Amino acid sequence: MTPEKFDDVLSWAVDLEDEARQQALRTAALPFVVKPLVLMPDAHFGLGATVGSVIATKGAIIPAAVGVDIGCGMVAVRTQFTSAGLPDNLNELHHQISRSIPSGVGKRFRDDVAPHALLPVYNGEMTEKQERTARTQLGTLGSGNHFIEVCLDEKDRVWLVLHSGSRGIGNQLAAHHIDKAKGLMKEWSIQLPDPDLAYLPENTPEWSAYIYDMRWAQRYATANRWVMMSAVINQLGRFLGEPAKSREHIDCHHNFTELEHHHGQDVWLTRKGAIKAAAGDKGVIPGSMGTASYIVTGLGNPASYNSCAHGAGRRMSRNRARSELSVDTLREDMKGKAWNADDAKALLDEHPDAYKKIDVIMEAQRDLVRIDHTLHQILNYKGV
């Protein structure tokens, strides 16, 4: 796809709503943002900055552009199994996974069974409540668009796919730093087109504190995914009566910032709902419930700051999806799969029709990634 250029924005976006377009322009206009700001194919309106945006900055970072689920991302594991070794009905496996991995808003392990040993060391200051949240939510899924899937690729090989992030502690740390940035804007009488574009100048104490917490939350998110994936691998092995083995694994963040070199200069590159796709980078790009997901290799397109889409991208807000879409069509889309069927009404905002078409998104980024494997889900577990 040939990207569209409008003002200081370079866009691969598919069906970009005007609200998101204007939001991207507001962000790109900030004096410390390196031009152009780049939009991925799945871009849509978000809090502060557009979801699916790649923002290069010098001298400052926007905490809300990274977002409140710092380090959220994907992990995928290819096992030794094929579809020939699976029974027709996977409802019991779904039940096993749901029993071993807590999901939903605020859900956690009891403190005496939480996987403390895998908690990344934190050298900052946390409240007792934050420490408890970090301990007891490690290895939990969360809600919204977070999920665990069992999928088959084009060779009928079994893959395990998981989407989650830094849970409540990442949210709390992000909210703290967003408030700090807003406080600085007020203290310095800086007027912004959107309060959520509040920024932290480089080499300030507030900047340093945010960088430390952001990097820690990324490590936490990675550990969280792998604690859960280990549990899923174990449950699959128990279900099939043979230990599951990892033949291939991929892990990638899609809410983070890091120092990178682009177009002859060092910049802080924020990917909000985008993954790194430098030449040879492996990535996981999920569709919505009931649709395909993709294992990809980055092509290293410099115009996109070596980035690509992180998923299908919403085309409806959650409230609109709940009011316009039906449980009956959701059940039809999920026919033949093991899923949270009893929670269909609660999952209506995750209806496939609330998202853009993933095959269209993938076609739009043929110059950003190469598709290695196409995965089709046969089990989907979500938190409600």
The mean pLDDT value for 307-314 works out to 96
Q: What is the pTM of this model?
A: 0.95
In tens, the pLDDT along 271-301 reads 999 999 999 999 999 999 989 999 999 999 9
Helices 167-187 and 205-240, axial angle in degrees (round to 10): 160
In tens, the pLDDT along 81-129 reads 999 999 999 999 999 999 999 998 888 988 887 787 789 999 988 999 9
In tens, the pLDDT along 322-366 reads 999 999 999 999 999 999 999 999 999 999 999 999 999 999 999
User: Band of the pLDDT at 375, cuts 50, 70, 90?
Assistant: very high
Which of 44, 146, 253, 310 is the catalytic position?
310
The mean pLDDT value for 116-144 works out to 91
The mean pLDDT value for 302-307 works out to 98
User: According to the model, what pLDDT value does residue 187 have?
Assistant: 97
Indicate the average pLDDT of the chain. Answer: 96
Q: Which fold has domain 4-382?
A: tRNA-splicing ligase RtcB (3.90.1860)
CA atoms in the 13 A half-sphere facing the CB of 114: 18
Q: Would you call 310 a catalytic residue per the annotation? A: yes
Residue 14: name the closest of 357, 379, 274 by CA.
Answer: 357
Three-class secondary structure assignment of the chain: CCCEEECCEEECCCCCCHHHHHHHHHHHCCCCEEEEEEEEEEEECCCCCCEEEEEEECCEECHHHHCCCCCCEEEEEEEEEEHHHCCCCCHHHHHHHHHHCCCCCCCCCCCCCCCHHHCCCCCCCCCHHHHHHHHHHCCCCCCCCCEEEEEECCCCEEEEEEEECCHHHHHHHHHHHHHHHHHHHHHCCCCCCCHHHCCEECCCHHHHHHHHHHHHHHHHHHHHHHHHHHHHHHHHHHHHCCCCCEEEEEEEECEEEEEEEECCEEEEEEEECEEECCCCCEEEECCCCCCEEEEEEECCCHHHCCEEECCCCECCCHHHHHHHCCHHHHHHHCCCCECCHHHCCCCHHHCHHHECCHHHHHHHCCCCEEEEEEEEEEEEEECC
Residue 136: name the closest of 148, 118, 163 by CA.
Answer: 118
User: According to the model, what pLDDT value does residue 384 have?
Assistant: 82
With a pLDDT cut of 70, the percent of the chain lying above it is: 100
In tens, the pLDDT along 215-240 reads 999 999 999 999 999 999 999 999 99
In tens, the pLDDT along 52-85 reads 999 999 999 999 999 999 999 999 999 999 999 9
| pLDDT reading at 1 higher than 80 | no
Q: Are strands 147-152 and 369-382 parallel, antiparallel or unpaired?
A: antiparallel
The mean pLDDT value for 32-37 works out to 98
What are the domain boundaries of the chain? 4-382
Q: Which amino acid is at 334?
A: M
Residue 253: name the closest of 294, 293, 282, 288 by CA.
Answer: 282
